[in-house]
């Protein structure tokens, strides 16, 4: 039950005006405007794609940035590998050339040593099996031919071809010469093709 005083006081309060009411209404208006602006702001998961750069701070943006980072890392690693291969090839070519020169020098030294000493049949057989020493074999043959030629020059030289009419004359001529004398014998019959050519060759060799 309300009394008469309460009714009178209540009506006064309804018609009572205070400056605090204006402040409360202004605050509500500001808060309402601020809420409207907040409602129209950009969503958190918005993406701005420009020149391949993502400014998205959400899960999608993080994934895209990670993919881009891994791609750049892979490209950089591949470029480093290619550069390393080019450097290795360049260095290997230089080293190979130097090693070839050293190997060639050692071969030349070994060749000179072998040429300066006598060579046994076993050594000759071993060298014959080695394809890399073909040059050495050629030079060794030349040297042996030169030695044989010098040995022939040291012995007696007749510089002509002698005609031996009989077998007894042949035996007599062989017995009279020195053991180191080289004698070439051409036995032939008249009327055989090539005989005259062979005689001509022997005359040229003897001269």
pLDDT at 46: 43
pLDDT at 48: 44
CB within 8 Å of 158: residues ≥ 6 apart: 206
pLDDT at 121: 58
Q: Which of 196, 197, 174, 195 is nearest to 184 (CA)?
A: 174
Q: Residue 141 and residue 124: Cα distance in Å, rounded? A: 11
Query: Tens digit of pLDDT for each residue in 42-54?
Result: 444 444 444 444 4
Mean pLDDT is lowest, of 47-56, 61-70, 92-101, for 47-56
pLDDT at 45: 43
Q: What's the start-to-end Cα distance of the chain, in Å?
A: 170
Evaluate the CA torsion angle 97, 101, 107, 110 in order and state its sign: negative
Q: Residue 67 and residue 74: Cα distance in Å, rounded? A: 11
> What's the rounded mean pLDDT across residues 51-61?
59
pLDDT at 106: 79
CB within 8 Å of 164: residues ≥ 6 apart: 170, 173
Check: CB of residue 186 under 8 Å from CB of residue 198: yes
With cut-offs at 50, 70 and 90, classify the pLDDT of residue 85: confident
> What's the rounded mean pLDDT across residues 108-125?
64
pLDDT at 12: 47
pTM to 2 decimal places: 0.26
Which residues share a beta bridge with 53?
50
> What's the rounded mean pLDDT across residues 184-198?
83
Identify the top-confidence range among 20-24, 30-34, 155-159.
155-159
pLDDT for residue 191 is more than 50: yes
76 or 45, which is more confident: 76
């Amino acid at each position: 039950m309300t009394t008469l005083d309460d009714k009178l006081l209540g009506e006064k309060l309804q018609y009572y005006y205070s400056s605090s009411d204006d402040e409360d209404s202004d605050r509500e208006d500001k808060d309402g405007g601020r809420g409207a602006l907040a409602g129209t702001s950009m969503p958190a998961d918005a993406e701005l794609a420009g020149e391949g750069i993502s400014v998205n701070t959400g899960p999608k943006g993080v994934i895209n940035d990670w993919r881009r980072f891994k791609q750049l890392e892979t490209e950089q690693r591949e470029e480093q590998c290619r550069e390393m291969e080019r450097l290795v090839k360049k260095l290997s070519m230089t080293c190979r050339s130097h090693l070839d020169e050293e190997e060639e020098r050692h071969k030349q030294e070994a060749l000179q040593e072998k040429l300066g000493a006598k060579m046994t049949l076993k050594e000759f057989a071993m060298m014959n099996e080695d394809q890399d020493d073909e040059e050495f074999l050629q030079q060794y043959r030349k040297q042996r031919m030169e030695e044989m030629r010098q040995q022939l020059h040291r012995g007696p030289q007749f510089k002509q071809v002698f005609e031996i009419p009989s077998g007894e004359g042949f035996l007599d001529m062989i017995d009279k010469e020195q053991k180191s004398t080289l004698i070439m014998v051409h036995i032939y019959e008249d009327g055989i093709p090539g005989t005259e050519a062979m005689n001509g060759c022997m005359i040229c060799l003897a001269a």
